[in-house]
Chain A
Amino acid sequence: MDDSTVAKLEGANLEDLGIPTGRLAMWWFLASEISIFGGLVCIFVLLRWRHPEWASEAVHTINAAGALNTVVLLTSSLSAVLAHQAAEDGRYRKAARLLGATFGGGVIFLCVKAYEYSHEIHAGFVPARSMFWSFYYLMTGLHALHVIGGMVAMFVIMLSVRKGLNPQRVEYVGIYWHFVDIVWIFLFPLLYLAS
């Protein structure tokens, strides 16, 4: 068999799917994540709709903190995009610095969240208080775990991309971070604003 046959046959594969394996894996991972958060959001919306009285509990969430966190997450997503661009251009130290900024955004987000939790718990709004608070802690807690997981991954990638290793992973962790961001954009109006 000559080389042109092999080249032609390899071409047949690329026409099926030209997505890098890592990105494909991330998309499938997020598909399963969507079914977790999607399921929760659907349940919450249905129940919330049936129970208008939850509004009296929802007013006690700290809207300003939620809004601040929304801004923080959106900004950190921006630096993740810039990090991806820098990695594409081969500017790995800059990519690492920008990932560091995103990481910092995660830290701020978690600090604000911790402040909220402690404030709310001191005021007696504990998970077992009512269904609204159960859902509030479940959904924001699950989201915060995703933030922490993303930060761990980002830290590892930051260290390796500085040395120019696996720069494509900057994009993958960025996709993940956008997802975490989008989940928050659903949670913020549902849990904070709708009261």
Chain B
Amino acid sequence: MAHSAHHPPVGFLGRYVFSTDHKVIAKQYLFTGIFMALVGGFLAYVIRMQLTFPGESIPGYGHVSFVHYNAVVTLHGTIMIFWVAMPVLLAALANFLIPLMIGAEDMAFPRLNMLSYWIFLLSTVVLLSSFFVPGGAAAGGWTSYPPLSGSAAFSGGQWGVSLWILAVALEFAAFLMGGINFITTAFNMRAPGMKLFDMPIMVWLQVVAAIVFMLSVGPLIAGAVMLLLDRLVGTGFFDPAAGGDPLLFQHLFWFFGHPEVYVVLLPGFGVIGEILPVFSRKPIFGYRMIIYATFVTGVMSFIVWAHHQFIAGIDPRLATPFSITTILISVPIAIMVFSYMATLWRGSIEFKTPMLFALGALAVFLLGGVTGIHNGTPAADIFLHDTYFVVAHFHYALIPPVFFAFFAAMYYWFPKMFGRMLNERLGVAHFVFTFFFMNLTFLPMFLLGFMGHQRRIADPRVFDTLRNAQVENLHWLATIGAIGLLLGQIPFLVNLVMSLIRGERAEANPWRANTLEWTVPSPPGHGNFERQPVVYRGPYEYSSPESSEDFLPQNAAP
């Protein structure tokens, strides 16, 4: 194996900065992602304040012009999807967990892994720098549809969109490297005895997410290059005057963009799948059924993309077929959700913070899931498309994996990452604030959507139908919710810092869990396992009649 020459690193730089250790790289991704979440959260605050107090100066930002507003909306979406959800859920969790969970000493390609992070960091710098260039950051929405994004003449700045494209392309390169590592590591570096269907759900879902990402991103990479050429060289791929077609970019974008939803969703579901059995002391309900459902979701995610374009000018006869595939994808997702709920049935449930966030994720996701049916039905979408109903829907669908599942993962694996427990009381407070204020923020948006309130407008008072007390009150509620949601993260950040300094020291297996990461010290040393573990069983043998205790680690000899 390539690791025979893998010596423990020396010096501060070697250990914490230019490290090839998957655990260090995971933390680098984690902290970069948390930092970007704060940037994205601040932009959300600006959006909410502008909609509630249009035209007034916003504390901490200042006056928001219409130009700025579009850039703020664009960067909020871009950052939250590509610079928060992807690094935190995919890169940080998969990097930390895959080798530990399958009993490997590191990733298959540690140096490629390090390169992946540094390219990602470069992409982050490029994106953030686009705020400060002449003309400002990209302002064409996170989808950057041409012709608006195809020429400086339409959107103002010459630099913003070009830097946006460059940053996104670099980011994709980073995650392609990461994805190759995840897949090959999980396939080829499992501990002796661990068959593919002995891998924890988390590993499976990360692998499927990585495969879906790698197979769907190609056309958008091509599209990004074409858009950049349109801007810089004067080609006309998306310019109708030159014989190009703006809709082509939409197809390329959503061929990736919709699978991307599942790329983010699946790791989040993986977290929930790890936590539910541990805190219910029960095997996960239908392990193989869940994994097969994931495969079906992954395959189907490639044939639903045009539901983003029902009214975009595509042939209307395409709408109903794409609607059917879209609505049918609810079936494998429902299998996963119901299996998770059935895991609770006749369990012995302990409401620790990770469990609260996992259950909260399911509770919130249910609403995000069912409202997908509204949007996926073409005739209903005529009214709902580009309204706040869509905004509410995708926040309800994506906040559960990106934030709830991420928080659950942090409370659950923090002891393993840093060797200390997080404070339980602050954790519960964090959960209560997050759950309450999240709903307060986004429930009103469903109603705004039903009132016909369109997205991405900087001032609702411009419109007669939106210039009324109802709309104003709903915006107020959402804004109070958003500020509460942001302030509600203070207990979490305090908890992180306090626990890192003087949290209770964590034992190797504080949750009495079965998977291999809990068989090594917290935090694990370089190389993870002192002795190569051998696996005898699947990961979820809780309350098994074979054991006198209520758990049975994967590596316990029979």
Direct A/B contact, Cβ within 8 angstroms: yes
Q: Are B248 and A31 in contact (CB under 8 A)?
A: no
Query: Which residue of chain B is the closest to A135 with respect to CB atoms?
Result: B237
B214 at the interface (CB under 8 A from A): yes
Q: Are B226 and A138 in contact (CB under 8 A)?
A: yes
Q: Are A43 and B248 in contact (CB under 8 A)?
A: yes
State A16–B194 Cα separation when bound (angstroms): 10
Q: Are B237 and A28 in contact (CB under 8 A)?
A: no
B534 at the interface (CB under 8 A from A): yes
Q: Are A31 and B214 in contact (CB under 8 A)?
A: yes
Query: Which residue of chain A is the closest to B182 with respect to CB atoms?
Result: A28
Contact of A13 among B176, B190, B233, B248 (CB under 8 A): B190
Contacts of B236 in A (CB 8 A): 128, 131, 134
B311 CB, min distance to chain A CBs, angstroms: 22
B49 CB, min distance to chain A CBs, angstroms: 41
A122 at the interface (CB under 8 A from B): no
B-contacting 9-mer, from A4-12, A89-97, A173-181: A4-12
B309 CB, min distance to chain A CBs, angstroms: 16
Q: Are A36 and B180 in contact (CB under 8 A)?
A: no
By secondary structure, the A interface counts as helix
Q: Are B176 and A32 in contact (CB under 8 A)?
A: yes
Contacts of A137 in B (CB 8 A): 235
B201 at the interface (CB under 8 A from A): no
B262 CB, min distance to chain A CBs, angstroms: 16
Contact of B237 among A9, A31, A131 (CB under 8 A): A131
A24 at the interface (CB under 8 A from B): yes
Query: Which residue of chain A is the closest to B214 with respect to CB atoms?
Result: A32
A-contacting 9-mer, from B217-225, B290-298, B342-350: B217-225
Contact of B243 among A16, A17, A51, A127 (CB under 8 A): A51
B299 at the interface (CB under 8 A from A): no
B359 at the interface (CB under 8 A from A): no
Contacts of A28 in B (CB 8 A): 179-180, 183-184, 211, 214
Contacts of A128 in B (CB 8 A): 233-236, 242
Known: A9-B193, A16-B195. A39 touches B233 (CB 8 A): no
Q: Are B215 and A21 in contact (CB under 8 A)?
A: no
State A89–B283 Cα separation when bound (angstroms): 50
Q: Are B243 and A21 in contact (CB under 8 A)?
A: no
State A61–B254 Cα separation when bound (angstroms): 33
State A35–B216 Cα separation when bound (angstroms): 7
Q: Are B194 and A13 in contact (CB under 8 A)?
A: yes
Q: Are A29 and B218 in contact (CB under 8 A)?
A: no
Known: A1-B534, A1-B557, A24-B187. A36 touches B221 (CB 8 A): yes
State A130–B244 Cα separation when bound (angstroms): 9
Contacts of A138 in B (CB 8 A): 225-226, 229, 235, 237
Q: Which residues of B, 234-250, contact A by the 8 Å Cβ criterion?
A: 234-237, 242-244, 248
Q: Are A19 and B188 in contact (CB under 8 A)?
A: yes
Contact of A32 among B189, B217, B248 (CB under 8 A): B217
Q: Are A134 and B229 in contact (CB under 8 A)?
A: yes
Contacts of A130 in B (CB 8 A): 242-243
Lowest 7 CB-CB distances: which A-B pairs, in order? A35-B218, A39-B219, A9-B193, A36-B218, A128-B234, A134-B235, A32-B214
A interface list, Cβ under 8 A from B = 1, 5-6, 9-10, 12-13, 16-17, 19-21, 24-25, 28-29, 31-40, 43, 51, 127-128, 130-131, 134, 137-138, 142
24 A-B contacts, Cβ less than 8 Å apart? A9-B192, A10-B192, A12-B192, A13-B195, A24-B187, A28-B183, A29-B176, A32-B179, A32-B214, A32-B215, A32-B218, A35-B216, A35-B218, A36-B218, A36-B221, A36-B222, A39-B222, A39-B252, A43-B252, A127-B235, A128-B242, A130-B243, A134-B237, A142-B225
